[in-house]
Amino acid sequence: MRMWKGIVNYSDLNDTCVTILKARWLKSNRFKHNVKKDCFFCDYTMMDPIRNVDGWGGNGENCELCPGRVIDPTFDCCNSNYHYRHRPVAFYEKLFKLNEIRESKKVINA
């Protein structure tokens, strides 16, 4: 969430690719590794060595492992209403809603 909040706050958002903004955010926040996939959730799916073939995740290959889909089975990072690359502000808003759902489930299960 912090990364996407930072991305949507960059003043040159409309002029710069989201991938570049992510790399900039990661570097400015002292992360040592860059995101290999454009979608951070797709990058997350690459960390499952058993179900992830040849280190390739995302773009529809490992959507069942997507953290967004765990919360909302209809979530799709390429949905035209909140596409991570083309509509990053809408994507951040979608992540915020998903996080609210996740947090509410924690309270119920506590």
The SS3 assignment for 44 reads: helix
pLDDT score for 63? 81
> Is the pLDDT confidence value at 81 over 90?
yes
pTM: 0.71
pLDDT tens-digit series, residues 30-56: 877 766 666 778 777 776 666 555 555
> Is the pLDDT confidence value at 64 over 60?
yes
pLDDT score for 3? 74
Both structure tokens of 43: 């990058």
pLDDT score for 94? 93
CA 106 to chain centre: 20
> Is the pLDDT confidence value at 72 over 80?
yes
